[in-house]
Each structure stands twice: as C-alpha cells, then as structure tokens.
Amino acid sequence: MFTGIIMDVGHVRAIVQSGDTRFEFETHFSMDDVDIGASIACCGTCLTVTEKGDNWFAADASAETLSKTTLGTWKEETPVNFERPLKAADELGGHLVSGHVDGVGKITGIETEGDSVRYTFQPPTELMKFIAVKGSIAINGVSLTVNEVDETTFGVNIIPHTQTATTFGTAKISDGVNLEIDMLARYVARLLEKD
C-alpha cells in the first residue's frame, strides 16, 4: 500500500528481455534497508525488488504488466517516480494507493495557470465513470486532486513543488501515464452494479 507521495525520481538504467522483462533502476534510496522481495511503486506500478546494489535495484515485469501500464514503452534513461510502501505509523499525506494500475491515459494539454500547471488527461473510456471533481487519482504514482471533468477528459493542477519533485517536470503532450482510480470509487461502483 502506498500514499502517492513520491519519495525519489530516478531512471531506468538497463532493460533485459527474457521470459519476463527485467528493469534495473537508478535511485537515490539507500538500498541498505530495502529487502529482496520488498515492493517499490515505479510510476505507480507496484514492482518487487529482485536484486539490489548501491543506489540501484532490479525488478521483473510480466507481459501482462507491460501491456497494462506504460512500462512497455520505457527505455534506458526514462525518468521514474519511486515510492516505498506505507508503514503502519506513517503519515498518510496523499490517499491510499495500491500500486495496481487501472489503465493508461494520455496527456492532452499542458497550460500554465499562475504558478501551477494545468494538465489535461484522456483516460480509457471505461475509467471516466470513476473520476469525479475533487476526487483523488494517482497519475504515474502521484496522488492528485481532480479539478475538472468533462465527457472524455479530466484536469488537475500541479504545483511547482510537484513539478520538480516528480517526473511531471519533463512530461509532454501525448505522453502516456499510468492511472489508478480512487479505491473508494471502485468499490462504490462495484456495489452499485450488484443492485
């Protein structure tokens, strides 16, 4: 379980294709207290640490993960948001995020609004019903508040700190993004389906 508060921005240092795809990531984390088998959210995708060294770790991604996230488009030097899992005594600064990506969206607009930047996203059609104004959403692992919703897109404002502390500072129109809808919205929709 995560909170959507990014702890580090690193990058892909190597990709090895085999039965699954092995990613090696550069990070500023001290890997001394990260166990093999631990989870790390990588742009919102929960991956398992399979090997580690000084300021790097490796994780494997299945074909299913590559097809349902942006990981299938990553290459060496791709910047990556990292978050370590929530501990029981930690402050919940964002919202509860599982690290299970619901779909890949696309950035359709980037506009400066005061000191912030307004991003517009087009999610997969089936996710639109879960996205509400003032609701929470995780985009590339970042906990954000939805500011506007229309029939096919939604918008968020990203403050300067988030621009510099995440991969949003290098984002471009048409980039793919990993989306995780709010857990509460998912369960409410599921309950309503049963009626």
> pLDDT by residue (tens digit) across 3-58?
999 999 999 999 999 889 999 999 999 999 999 999 999 999 999 999 999 999 99
**Rounded distance, CA 5 to CA 135, Å?**
16
Stretch (H or E) spanning 158: strand 154-158
Boundaries of every domain in the chain: 8-83, 103-193
Q: Which fold has domain 8-83?
A: Elongation Factor Tu (Ef-tu); domain 3 (2.40.30)
pTM across the whole model: 0.93
Q: Which fold has domain 103-193?
A: Elongation Factor Tu (Ef-tu); domain 3 (2.40.30)
Is there a common fold for 8-83 and 103-193? Answer: yes
| Region for 168 from its dihedrals, namely left if φ exceeds 0, alpha if ψ lies in -120 to 50, beta otherwise | alpha
Provide the pLDDT for residue 195: 54
Q: Give pLDDT < 70 ranges for the chain.
A: 194-195
